[in-house]
Structure 1
Amino acid sequence: MVALMIASLSGLPVSAVYFLNLGPAQRDNLLRHIWIAAEHLVSVLAESRDFCIVVLTLDVPEDLWCGYQLMLTTLMDYVVDCDDALRACLPTPGSGDKNILEAVFGAIDHCSLELQLPVSLESSGENGKPPRSIGPYEHLCTHMCRFLAALSPEHFGIAEAILFKNVLHESHWRACLASDTLCFVARFGSPQLCFEHAKLLARLVNLTSSAPGNRHSHAKSLLRRLFQFLTEEHKTELHQMFSSNSVVTSIVGLPESASTARAQAEQLLMKLSAKTIGASELKILVRLLCQMKESSRYKEHCLPMEPLLQALSSVPAYRSQLCCGLTHAIIDLLTAQ
């Protein structure tokens, strides 16, 4: 009963979009007090192993899934500092017990509507900055990343397996949350961990290439994102490992020597300045410039400023994603010099 009450209280900030009869100030004050009460209850009860088990095995009513999701994110903040509660929330795989991360991913499928509502939650400020309002998805993703960052190596492997399982899920929201969390791990974890994840994803991309549904596209998208976080040495090693795999190389590209890439980029920049470049060549130019921008050896093989400036003034005026990417890449290369 207590868990259901907390779930009900936790969900009110999101369902407040329907409080049409209350003014903004009244609604904000009411919800702030409700939110404080719900979070305080969770903080007091989180150390109880029994409470954690009750929450994870709760039979959630259909109209309380969003509140249940928010209660789980709050619970993650507190159980990570309590060993007994954490063991209850992250049991050994195969034990048959419920897992808090699986509960979060399972609940997100029931909250797809709420995640798209024009509502906001108040986040705590950092480094002396005042609190700011964030959307329900950002709130969930932030708490998930915080939980992963605080996990010990003993529990990280369990979480890692759940994240990759959900990357390959058909659900857009599950795959999106798992991918964003793994990108956080790639950015703030060790370079070797990022490399191991990229290798695993490359194999998953190959295995799912003929699979129906969205699993292959989810894995491809994450591999493309993680590749940007790899060191130059790891990028080269990944290229060598999958050089004969056309599925993987179509995502991460083929390695090119710095001098070859520079010569090809110069030729395409001249075509852009003369307005004789084709759409496919434009895509190649953007890829080359982005690779040069991210290369630690760019200063040794930097492009002359004059063709870059001429090309910048020749970028088509219409706002396409490709033209915006080209403009940003040229500006980044100019500022790097």
Structure 2
Amino acid sequence: MLFVSSLTVFYSMYQHSESWTEHIQILKVIIEMFLPHMNHLTLEQAFFSQVLPKTVKLFDDMIYELTSQAGGLSSQNLEIQTTLRNILQTMVQVLEVLTGCVQHVCTTQESVVLEKIHSLPSSVLHVIRSTFVHCKNSESVYSGRLHLVSDLLQALFKEAYSLQKQLMELLDAVFLDPSVDSNDDILDMVIVIHSLLDICSVISSMDQAFHANTWKFIIKQTLKHQSLVKNQLKHKDIISSLCEDILFSFHSCLQLAEQMTQSESQDNADYRLFQKTLKLCRFFANSLLHYTKEFHPFLSDSCSILHRLYLQIYSKLPPSLYAARISKAQQEEVACAFLVTLDPLVSQLLPLQSFMQAVLDSKLDLPCELQFPQCLLLVVVMDKLPSQPEHVQTLWCTENQVSEGAARISLFRAIFYSFEQCSGELSLPVHLQGVESKGRAEAASTLYQHVCVHLCTFITSFHPSLFAELDTVLLNAVLGVNMITSLLAMDVWCFVARCSDAFLVHCRYGTAELCAHHVTLVAHLIKSSPGECQQLAHLSILLKRLFFLMAPPHQNTALSALLAVCNSAAEALDVAQQTAIIEVGNQLWAFLNVKQVTSQPYVQQTLSLLLPILGFFVQSVDPQLISQVVSLQTSLLKLEPADHVRFAVLDFVSSLGKLFIPQVIQDKILPNLSCIFALLLADRNWLLEQHTLEAFTQFAEGTHHEEIVPQCVSSEEIKNKVVTFLEKSGCVDEDEAAKVERVKQEKAVFWVPFAEVTEAAMKRSSLQPSAKRARHDLPLEEEYRSALQAATRALDATESLIQKTPAPAWLLMEMETLQQRIERLKRQIL
């Protein structure tokens, strides 16, 4: 009775005391004189719940007082200095008292039940976190006067460090009985784990070893009580924190390596610090790998974080354009000690649909520096899929509408899309080291070779049901606007056609019949093409390559059909028909002038179609018409027309190389011709410049009028440009670092997905000029008036022809078609 009454008196004194020092003195007495004699089964009710809430409030008040008064701290203001130092000393004593409480529980209980010490862990962790936050922010809190209290801050940190170690020993002894449904104990353990997670975020930059030990304890406790806490843990928070710490230590490691490389330092201290940081990276990565393995069913909302982690790490390593500049030896150390843990992580995530969604999201919008790592990740996924069950392969390789706002593209489509975004890496090109095989490393390969080889290897092993999806993606890529992506698709297509008996005969791919079918398909696509276009060029290349892969009987059949077409094509236009076409060209040309071409998109398109036709029949065209054409072209180029018009002009002048121009008209054609080449050679459009250099070189080699060649090279800059082209040397002398920097800048400009640009362009009229080229647009009303006037003139011309000669049989049908279009336009207006 005396014990209880005495303890009650001390409790009352403790609760009503107003002095911080008095609080601590009373608390020390209670712990030293009463705590050892208490029953450990009643500690929570008899002591912790009575004392600790007040202690935590006391500590928070002292933190607030320190922060409030720290601004007045100075060596001259001894009163504030003394006050702050006294508060810090009192805080150290609070930590010592709490350490005593934790030690008492550790020494008296072999197996700790959380319910019996409910208030202790949460109170201690709150105080520890507040201490570390104050120490971390001390430079800003105490500003330039930190040295006046630094000794006590060090003591405070050291005491909190010791208290946490002691608490972790206590928590390690906690026993949660799986057979007993104790939700309070489970919730307490979950709170402890997440409180330690908060502390990790505070101390990550303060003490590496302590930070790592705290993480080690967190992972250990989650696994120890896995069956009980798995449904209550915030797995996303734990994985997110681990990923942040991995990236932080990884970037620190790269900074150290970069500093050593730049200074060419051989300092052992720097190298030891690099190795220590690298070891920390490996620890965090292994912890993540262990955690994801054990809590695999709970990773659905963490997959996007893990996906981004993989990309961010590989974006900082060679051969990425954005990699840190570190030595080859350091690269290998990082790869051996750290990157090896990321490979099994991908294997763990492969079966998860949430990971598929994160990697193959149709709306995935990655910054420039993450596009190349994304391509590498897709190749890694492709390499690992053959070892996965068929349903997992199918999920990865087929498109899926996950929800109303989220769609998942197929792995094949994602690879080609990602490959297309790596323009900088392809143009340098970057090189990837091959995998070591039979004791020696494979030769380094370009990104193009890397993707092509791995894609073809994957095709030899995936399930036959996926070939339909592959066919669709390959055809779309061949018909795409990106040439290098189209060539990759052609290489893969030819691989499929070539690999008959070795790999694919079991699924009817690579057979002679299939190859012949593909040739027929491509030929029909070429035949149905609306006219000369980029897609037609791609299909023609593919047809030529597939032809040589066909079986001899199929080749003979195809050749017979081709020869028949060629023979009929030769007879398609006789001399009279050619003369008629040229006459129509003469008549059309009479309607064209510079003002119309620069102001009306449809006239621009007419000119762009007419010039190649005249160039094709240039040997039969009247020199007077050629004179009119080059004269208009010269005037037009000086007004900077749209890109497609300039290309059409170049197409026509390219055809004049071997044409002999009569003496009587040379003075009208040759000056204009030299002016046209000079203007085109001076153009800043790099694609037009390249085509102009090729055309001018061919013209100079074949022309009968060599005297105009020097006149085309109007300046020293253009002359050097032509000489550089002829010598096939680079235009700019730049080292590797400058080249990488230039490619990065170019990629930053063009990184918007080409498909979006193409889609936007298709929404505009195909007859509209390039928006990038300045043009004097007429008001919209004037454009309507101009178009209507052109239609009226065409009707007047038709009426005049009917009056002169009988109308052909087809004219009435064509006029009815025009009448239907006019009625449709009227309905749209109304």
TM-score band by shorter chain is 0.5 to 0.7
Shift of 1:167: 0.6
User: Which position in structure 2 is the counterpart of 1:218?
Assistant: 538
Is the alpha carbon distance of 1:187 and 1:34 closer, same or farther for their aligned partners in structure 2, counting shifts above 3 Å?
Answer: farther
Residues 321 and 425 of structure 2 are in contact (CA less than 8 Å); yes or no, is this contact kept in structure 1? no
The whole-number CA distance in structure 2 between the counterparts of 1:31 and 1:110 is 25
User: Which position in structure 1 is the counterpart of 2:491?
Assistant: 180
The yes-or-no answer on 1:192 pairing with 2:513 is yes
Whichever residue aligns with residue 90 of structure 1, its letter is: C
User: Which position in structure 2 is the counterpart of 1:6?
Assistant: 310
The whole-number CA distance in structure 1 between the counterparts of 2:552 and 2:495 is 19
Whichever residue aligns with residue 353 of structure 2, its letter is: R
Whichever residue aligns with residue 13 of structure 1, its letter is: P
Deviation string for 1:274-321 (max 9, x for gaps)?
xxxxxxxxxxxxxxxxxxxxxxxxxxxxxxxxxxxxxxxxxxxxxxxx
Shift of 1:70: 0.7
Whichever residue aligns with residue 87 of structure 1, its letter is: T
Shift of 1:154: 1.1
Q: Report how many residues are paired.
A: 247
User: Which position in structure 1 is the counterpart of 2:382?
Assistant: 76
Deviation string for 1:56-98 (max 9, x for gaps)?
1144233201111111111112224332322222226899642
Q: 1:149 aligns with which of 447, 451, 460?
A: 460
The yes-or-no answer on 1:108 pairing with 2:429 is no
Shift of 1:127: 7.1
The whole-number CA distance in structure 2 between the counterparts of 1:88 and 1:82 is 10
Residues 53 and 88 of structure 1 are in contact (CA less than 8 Å); yes or no, is this contact kept in structure 2? no
Shift of 1:166: 0.8
Is the alpha carbon distance of 1:89 and 1:161 closer, same or farther for their aligned partners in structure 2, counting shifts above 3 Å?
Answer: same
User: Which position in structure 2 is the counterpart of 1:52?
Assistant: 356
Residues 8 and 68 of structure 1 are in contact (CA less than 8 Å); yes or no, is this contact kept in structure 2? no
The whole-number CA distance in structure 2 between the counterparts of 1:162 and 1:170 is 14
The whole-number CA distance in structure 1 between the counterparts of 2:464 and 2:512 is 16
The whole-number CA distance in structure 1 between the counterparts of 2:511 and 2:540 is 22
Is the alpha carbon distance of 1:33 and 1:110 closer, same or farther for their aligned partners in structure 2, counting shifts above 3 Å?
Answer: farther
Q: Bigger shift: 226-235 or 237-246?
A: 237-246
Residues 102 and 162 of structure 1 are in contact (CA less than 8 Å); yes or no, is this contact kept in structure 2? yes
1:75-94 to 2 correspondences below 5 Å: 75-80=381-386, 81-91=388-398
Larger relative CO (CA 8 A, sep 6+): 1 or 2? 1
Is the alpha carbon distance of 1:226 and 1:107 closer, same or farther for their aligned partners in structure 2, counting shifts above 3 Å?
Answer: same
User: Which position in structure 2 is the counterpart of 1:303?
Assistant: none
Residues 93 and 158 of structure 1 are in contact (CA less than 8 Å); yes or no, is this contact kept in structure 2? no
Residues 47 and 84 of structure 1 are in contact (CA less than 8 Å); yes or no, is this contact kept in structure 2? no
What's the TM-score, normalizing by structure 1? Answer: 0.65
Is the alpha carbon distance of 1:34 and 1:169 closer, same or farther for their aligned partners in structure 2, counting shifts above 3 Å?
Answer: farther
Deviation string for 1:208-251 (max 9, x for gaps)?
36143x2111111111111111111010122244444349x99x
Shift of 1:187: 1.4
The whole-number CA distance in structure 2 between the counterparts of 1:65 and 1:134 is 19
The yes-or-no answer on 1:165 pairing with 2:472 is no
SS at match of 1:150: coil
Whichever residue aligns with residue 191 of structure 1, its letter is: A
The whole-number CA distance in structure 2 between the counterparts of 1:31 and 1:134 is 18
The whole-number CA distance in structure 1 between the counterparts of 2:468 and 2:311 is 29
Shift of 1:3: 0.4
The whole-number CA distance in structure 2 between the counterparts of 1:83 and 1:207 is 38
The whole-number CA distance in structure 1 between the counterparts of 2:320 and 2:441 is 24
The whole-number CA distance in structure 2 between the counterparts of 1:198 and 1:36 is 44
The yes-or-no answer on 1:15 pairing with 2:326 is no
Residues 10 and 35 of structure 1 are in contact (CA less than 8 Å); yes or no, is this contact kept in structure 2? no
Whichever residue aligns with residue 61 of structure 1, its letter is: P
Whichever residue aligns with residue 539 of structure 2, its letter is: A
Structure 2: tracts of 5 or more residues without a match: 1-304, 500-509, 571-830
User: Which position in structure 1 is the counterpart of 2:550?
Assistant: 230
The whole-number CA distance in structure 2 between the counterparts of 1:94 and 1:203 is 32
Shift of 1:112: 0.8
Is the alpha carbon distance of 1:239 and 1:94 closer, same or farther for their aligned partners in structure 2, counting shifts above 3 Å?
Answer: farther
What's the TM-score, normalizing by structure 2? Answer: 0.28
The whole-number CA distance in structure 1 between the counterparts of 2:414 and 2:338 is 24
Residues 311 and 374 of structure 2 are in contact (CA less than 8 Å); yes or no, is this contact kept in structure 1? yes
Residues 123 and 132 of structure 1 are in contact (CA less than 8 Å); yes or no, is this contact kept in structure 2? yes
Shift of 1:34: 5.3
1:314-329 to 2 correspondences below 5 Å: none
The whole-number CA distance in structure 1 between the counterparts of 2:521 and 2:338 is 44
Residues 434 and 441 of structure 2 are in contact (CA less than 8 Å); yes or no, is this contact kept in structure 1? no
Whichever residue aligns with residue 370 of structure 2, its letter is: L
Shift of 1:155: 1.0
Residues 497 and 511 of structure 2 are in contact (CA less than 8 Å); yes or no, is this contact kept in structure 1? yes
Whichever residue aligns with residue 314 of structure 2, its letter is: S
Is the alpha carbon distance of 1:183 and 1:94 closer, same or farther for their aligned partners in structure 2, counting shifts above 3 Å?
Answer: farther
Deviation string for 1:127-170 (max 9, x for gaps)?
77643321111111111112222222211111111101111111
Is the alpha carbon distance of 1:10 and 1:127 closer, same or farther for their aligned partners in structure 2, counting shifts above 3 Å?
Answer: same
The answer to which structure has the higher helix fraction is 2
The whole-number CA distance in structure 2 between the counterparts of 1:97 and 1:118 is 30
The whole-number CA distance in structure 2 between the counterparts of 1:128 and 1:198 is 42
Is the alpha carbon distance of 1:104 and 1:226 closer, same or farther for their aligned partners in structure 2, counting shifts above 3 Å?
Answer: same
Percent identical pairs in the alignment equals 26
Whichever residue aligns with residue 41 of structure 1, its letter is: L
Please give the root-mean-square deviation of Cα atoms over the aligned residues, in Å.
2.8
Whichever residue aligns with residue 14 of structure 1, its letter is: P
Deviation string for 1:84-122 (max 9, x for gaps)?
322222226899642111111111222111122343212
Is the alpha carbon distance of 1:186 and 1:32 closer, same or farther for their aligned partners in structure 2, counting shifts above 3 Å?
Answer: farther
Shift of 1:37: 3.5
The whole-number CA distance in structure 1 between the counterparts of 2:438 and 2:525 is 39
Is the alpha carbon distance of 1:153 and 1:46 closer, same or farther for their aligned partners in structure 2, counting shifts above 3 Å?
Answer: same
The whole-number CA distance in structure 1 between the counterparts of 2:539 and 2:311 is 33
